[in-house]
């Protein structure tokens, strides 16, 4: 753990599933991950740390949850300053396209006009709603405790509420929304059942809901839970919804669940939930969850070989991307390779390495700091300033998403950045 964050980080232990309440679960190997998904300023280093958490797989509903993880106090303090991606600025917007297209498809399925009531929960800068507003939709609401109202053009007339969402939201919006959209937020909610109750209560009978989240084995430290098909099927089963579809596309980092709320209320059924599909899904994820990284082993072996070869050359090693994927790639190098790659002049929590060059596509993050797996921080540079005409021994693309990788390759070509070898994760 970073020493600068030691006073901020405390942990909590749990003994039952936060979705179904069961104590029938399988403990999984401990994971560790950095908190922030983007680099941070030098005076904000206390907002990052390397967190160790212990996940578990619920054998009753299929959700993955923390047996030991960040305390509510630490999560509250950290989330207030969390550096989420703002797709409305263009960064990461390609990764939203499947989500946006899915929401639009539900609007079309319901035959809604431009007066349809649509809400995005946890939308941050309301990128989805901005797209819909530009297409003529008029009743749009964003609910997020960190809603970035300053980047939402006022002429779009999107109603933004800086508030937490839960069952109390039904007091304001009972059966109000035709469509509810929620991207990668459900993983972050500690009172999970209250959150789900709020979603169900605010959705009109006959309405549709689109919820996305990362796959069960894609874990990071601020998550409370990880949901796959089984967990979403349980939610439909327990809350009187219909799970219309669940899918994960190779180019996206998230799975998509589509729910329909029947026009006639349906009490939760007590029919057998653990059918063959449930059991097959559990057994598919079990070996993957028992690994300490979601990254493929053969790719990590290839990376180790390429970095070792590059270290024998007197040229920089570039890591393009400074998020969770980059952290995991560097963390899975051997201890010997990490020691060589991260070697340099240290001044407090900052290390100036001799060989490693960290870059990304955000000019505003020039001079910010990325937390290395050894607990030290390393300066990040804006790619379009640092890479023109540069010759490197190795380029590591620190992104697993297909769209991010394509964007990086296009930028590198435009900068005439040359490299003797390249590593990219399969996608």
* pLDDT value at 8 more than 80: no
Exposed e or buried b for every residue in 289-313, given b needs 16+ CB within 10 A?
A: beebbbbeeebbeebbebbbebbee
pLDDT tens for each residue of 248-297: 998 888 999 999 999 987 766 655 678 899 999 999 999 999 999 989 99
∠ CA 390-394-395, nearest 5°, is 75
CB count, 10 Å around CB of 253? 23
pLDDT at 264: 86
Q: Which residues touch 387 (CB under 8 Å, ≥6 apart)?
A: 318, 359, 412, 415, 417
Q: What does the chain come to in residues?
A: 427
Query: What are the C-alpha distances in Å from 356 to residues 34, 58, 219, 320, 394?
Result: 19, 41, 26, 11, 10
Query: Contact 53/31 with Cβ under 8 angstroms?
Result: yes
Q: What is the mean pLDDT of residues 234-254?
A: 93
State both tokens at 251.
Answer: 């180019």
Q: Name the pLDDT band for 354 (thresholds 50, 70, 90).
A: confident
pLDDT at 5: 44
Q: Give the integer Cα–Cα distance in Å for 220 and 213.
A: 12
Q: Give the integer Cα–Cα distance in Å for 241 and 237.
A: 7
pLDDT tens for each residue of 135-189: 999 999 999 988 888 888 899 999 999 988 999 988 899 999 999 999 999 999 9
Share of the chain above pLDDT 90, in %: 74
pLDDT tens for each residue of 102-123: 999 999 999 999 999 999 999 8
């Amino acid at each position: 753990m970073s020493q600068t964050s030691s006073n901020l980080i405390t942990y909590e232990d749990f003994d039952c599933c936060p979705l179904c309440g069961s104590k029938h679960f399988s403990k999984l190997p401990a994971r560790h991950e950095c908190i922030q998904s983007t680099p941070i300023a030098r005076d904000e280093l206390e907002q990052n740390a390397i967190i160790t958490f212990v996940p578990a797989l619920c054998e009753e509903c299929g959700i993955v949850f923390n047996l030991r993880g960040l305390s509510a106090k630490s999560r509250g303090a950290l989330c207030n300053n969390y550096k989420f991606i703002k797709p409305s600025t263009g960064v990461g917007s390609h990764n939203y396209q499947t989500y946006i297209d899915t929401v639009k498809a539900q609007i079309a399925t319901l035959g809604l006009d431009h007066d349809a009531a649509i809400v995005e929960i946890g939308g941050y800068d309301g990128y989805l709603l901005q797209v819909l507003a530009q297409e003529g939709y008029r009743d749009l609401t964003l609910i997020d405790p960190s809603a970035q109202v300053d980047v939402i053009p006022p002429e779009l007339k999107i109603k933004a509420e800086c508030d937490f969402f839960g069952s109390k939201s039904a007091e304001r919006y009972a059966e109000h929304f035709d469509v509810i959209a929620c991207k990668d937020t459900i993983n972050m909610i500690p009172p999970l059942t209250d959150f789900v109750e709020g979603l169900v209560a605010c959705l009109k009978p006959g309405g549709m809901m689109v919820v996305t989240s990362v796959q069960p084995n894609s874990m990071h430290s601020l998550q409370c839970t990880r949901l796959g098909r089984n967990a979403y099927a349980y939610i439909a089963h327990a809350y009187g919804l219909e799970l219309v579809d669940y899918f994960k596309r190779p180019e996206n980092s998230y799975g998509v669940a589509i729910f329909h709320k029947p026009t006639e209320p349906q009490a939760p059924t007590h029919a057998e939930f653990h059918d063959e599909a449930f059991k097959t899904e559990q057994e598919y994820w079990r070996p993957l969850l028992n690994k300490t990284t979601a990254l493929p082993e053969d790719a990590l072996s290839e990376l180790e070989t390429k970095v070792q070869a590059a270290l024998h050359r007197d040229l920089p090693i570039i890591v393009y991307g400074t998020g969770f994927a980059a952290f995991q790639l560097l963390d899975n190098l051997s201890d010997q390779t990490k020691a060589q790659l991260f070697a340099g002049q240290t001044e407090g929590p900052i290390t100036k390495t001799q060989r490693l060059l960290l870059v990304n596509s955000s000019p505003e993050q020039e001079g910010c700091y990325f937390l290395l797996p050894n607990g030290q921080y390393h300066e990040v540079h804006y790619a379009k300033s640092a890479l023109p005409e540069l010759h490197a021994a190795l380029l590591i693309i620190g992104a697993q998403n297909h769209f991010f990788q394509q964007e990086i390759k296009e930028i590198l070509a435009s900068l005439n950045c040359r490299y003797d070898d390249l590593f990219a994760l399969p996608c």
